[in-house]
C-alpha cells in the first residue's frame, strides 16, 4: 500500500532540472519519488519508519512548491531567493582549496586551488557580518594549512563576528601546539573536528590513514588553551554505524574538553565513492534509534528533538549536562507542552545560534565554575547552573541532502548557508553534485 503524505519539488540527479516530487510511505519506509522527462523516475529512501515520521514532522505545514519556481537554481546563481523562510544561523566560509587528506567522503571535495589572499577573505567576512551576532565557520579544504588563519580569525572577531568556528580534521591542531595557542589568542570560539570513531580501521577506510591518536592529541592541545571541541562523525553504513555508542561514550568521558557530538549521516554530494543504493543510506530515524541502543540508554531517543531552526528532516538536537559519575542529565525531554530551543522565537536562527554558542564554547577558567556548590546534587540550583556552564554537552545531527533526496521544502527552511562570491547559498545547494548515472 502506498500513501503520498507530502507534495514538494526536487531536481533530477543527472541533469539538475527542477521536477515535481512526492514524499511517499510504502512498504514500511518513506521515500522521495520524482521523475525527469529526459532521465526517467528516481526514488530515494528518506526515513525507515523506526519512528513515526508524522510525529517527527509535528506541526510543520507543507510549503507551496509553486511559490519557488526557480529554486534551487536561482539560489546557486544569485544567493538566497525570496522564497526562503529562515534567517542565517551559521555561515560556512571556505578559506582554502587545499587539504592534507584524501577522504572517500568529502562535502567540499577540495580542488587544491591556490589560497585567496587573507585581505580578500576578510573583506568577504566584512560583507556578511552582523556585529554581535554572526557565527562564521572557517572551512575548506583543511583551513589549518593556512599559516595566516589566526590573522583571519582575529579579523573576524574585530569585525564583530560573535563566534568564529573552525572546521578541521585536527592534524595540525595535534602536531602544532603553538598554532593552537595562536588561534586561541586570536579569539577562536570552538572547533568542529572530524571524528569517525575510536578504531583506526575506521579512519583507514574513510580517511586513508590511522588518525585516532591524532584526534586525541588535538583535543588535548585545544583543552590547554580552553578551546572547546565538538566531534563530527560522518556515519557510513558498514564502516562506523556500529561505533555510534562508543563515540558518544568517549566524548562524554572527555567532558568538558569535548562539548558534544554532531553526527552527519553520509550524504552523496561533493566527493563521493559511488552513487547510493537505498541500502547504503543511513537515515535520521535510524541514527536516533542507534544512539539509544548503542549507548545503552546513556542518551534516550526522547531527549533528541527535531530541528525547528531548519526543517525537521534536516536534523535534531539534544541538550545535556555531564554528571560527576559520567552519566548524562537530559535538559531536552519529550513533553507535549515543552518548547524546543527555537520555538516561539521571533528569529529561530538567532536563538539556535546562541544555543550552540553557549554549549560549544568553553567558559573562561575561574568563571562559572568558581561559584560551584559543594553539594554536587544536580537538583541544587547553584550546582546545576555552574555544572551546565562547565559541563554542558550536546548531541546533534545534520542530515545533508544530495541530488537523490533533495527536497525543496527543506532547502527553503535552511539556516546553514555557505558564503560564495559575496552571496549566501543554502549549504546543500552549494555543494550539490550531479550524478553521472541514475
The pLDDT tens digits of the residues spanning 378-410 come to 878 888 888 988 999 999 999 999 999 999 999
Helices 149-159 and 177-186: crossing angle in degrees, nearest 10, is 10
Share of the chain above pLDDT 70, in %: 94
The pLDDT tens digits of the residues spanning 21-56 come to 999 999 999 999 999 999 999 999 999 999 999 999
pLDDT, residue 338, reads 42
- pLDDT of residue 335 exceeding 50, the answer is no
Among 268, 264, 277, 204, smallest CA distance to 231 is for 264
Q: How, if at all, do strands 416-420 and 90-94 pair?
A: parallel
Task: Name the pLDDT band for 108 (thresholds 50, 70, 90).
Answer: confident
Three-state DSSP class for residue 361: coil
Helices 177-186 and 212-224: crossing angle in degrees, nearest 10, is 50
pTM, two decimals, is 0.93
Residues 6+ apart with CB under 8 A from 93: 121, 124, 125, 136, 137, 138, 139, 418, 419
Residues 6+ apart with CB under 8 A from 381: none
Cα 260 to Cα 351: distance, rounded to the nearest angstrom: 18
Could you please report the per-residue DSSP string of 60-113? -PPP-GGG-TTTTHHHHHHSS-TT--S--SEEEEE--S--S---SSBSS----P
Cα 275 to Cα 195: distance, rounded to the nearest angstrom: 24
Grid cell at residue 244: 555510534
pLDDT, residue 337, reads 39
Grid cell at residue 326: 559520567
- pLDDT of residue 348 exceeding 80, the answer is no
346, 86 contact by CB (below 8 A)? no
User: How many helices (H) and strands (E) would you count in the chain?
Assistant: 14, 17
Three-state DSSP class for residue 102: coil
Q: Which residue has the higher pLDDT, 219 or 389?
A: 219
The pLDDT tens digits of the residues spanning 126-150 come to 999 999 999 999 999 999 999 999 9
Amino acid at each position: 500500500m502506498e500513501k503520498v503524505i507530502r507534495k514538494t519539488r526536487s531536481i533530477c540527479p543527472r541533469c539538475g532540472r527542477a521536477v515535481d516530487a512526492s514524499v511517499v510511505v510504502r512498504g514500511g519506509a518513506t521515500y522521495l519519488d520524482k521523475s525527469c522527462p529526459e532521465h526517467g523516475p528516481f526514488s530515494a529512501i528518506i526515513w525507515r519508519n523506526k519512528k513515526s515520521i508524522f510525529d517527527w514532522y509535528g506541526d510543520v505545514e507543507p510549503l507551496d512548491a509553486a511559490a519557488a519556481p526557480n529554486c534551487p537554481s536561482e539560489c546557486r546563481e544569485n544567493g538566497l531567493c525570496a522564497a526562503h523562510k529562515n534567517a542565517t544561523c551559521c555561515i560556512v566560509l571556505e578559506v582554502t582549496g587545499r587539504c592534507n587528506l584524501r577522504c572517500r567522503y568529502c562535502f567540499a571535495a577540495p580542488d587544491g586551488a591556490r589560497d585567496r589572499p587573507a585581505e580578500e577573505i576578510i573583506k568577504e567576512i566584512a560583507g556578511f557580518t552582523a556585529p554581535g551576532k554572526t557565527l562564521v565557520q572557517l572551512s575548506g579544504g583543511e583551513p589549518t594549512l593556512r599559516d595566516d588563519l589566526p590573522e583571519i580569525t582575529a579579523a573576524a572577531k574585530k569585525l564583530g563576528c560573535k563566534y568564529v568556528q573552525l572546521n578541521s580534521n585536527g592534524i595540525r591542531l595535534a602536531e602544532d601546539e603553538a598554532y593552537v595557542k595562536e588561534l586561541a589568542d586570536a579569539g577562536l570560539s570552538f572547533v568542529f573536528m572530524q571524528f569517525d570513531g575510536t578504531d583506526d580501521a575506521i579512519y583507514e577506510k574513510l580517511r586513508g590513514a590511522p588518525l585516532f591518536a591524532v584526534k586525541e592529541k588535538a583535543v588535548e592541545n585545544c583543552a590547554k588553551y580552553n578551546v572547546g571541541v565538538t566531534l563530527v562523525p560522518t556515519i557510513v553504513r558498514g564502516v562506523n554505524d556500529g561505533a555510534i555508542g562508543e563515540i558518544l561514550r568517549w566524548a562524554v568521558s572527555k567532558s568538558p574538553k569535548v562539548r558534544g557530538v554532531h553526527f552527519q549521516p553520509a550524504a552523496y554530494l561533493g566527493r563521493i565513492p559511488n552513487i547510493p543504493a537505498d541500502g547504503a543510506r543511513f537515515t535520521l530515524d535510524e541514527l536516533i534509534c542507534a544512539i539509544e541502543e548503542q549507548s545503552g540508554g546513556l542518551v534516550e531517543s526522547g531527549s533528541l528533538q527535531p530541528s525547528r531552526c531548519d526543517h525537521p528532516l534536516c536534523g535534531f538536537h539534544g541538550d545535556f549536562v555531564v554528571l560527576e559519575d559520567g552519566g548524562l542529565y537530559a535538559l531536552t525531554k519529550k513533553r507535549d507542552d515543552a518548547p524546543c530551543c527555537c520555538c516561539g522565537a521571533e528569529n529561530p536562527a538567532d536563538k539556535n545560534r546562541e544555543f550552540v554558542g553557549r554549549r560549544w564554547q568553553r567558559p573562561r577558567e575561574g568563571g562559572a565554575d568558581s561559584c560551584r556548590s559543594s553539594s554536587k546534587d544536580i537538583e541544587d540550583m547553584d550546582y546545576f547552573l555552574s555544572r551546565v556552564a562547565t559541563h554542558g554537552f550536546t548531541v546533534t545531527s545534520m542530515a545533508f541532502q544530495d541530488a537523490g533526496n533533495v527536497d525543496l521544502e527543506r532547502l527553503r527552511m535552511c539556516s546553514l548557508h555557505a558564503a560564495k562570491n559575496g552571496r549566501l547559498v543554502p549549504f546543500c545547494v552549494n555543494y550539490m553534485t550531479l550524478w553521472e548515472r541514475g
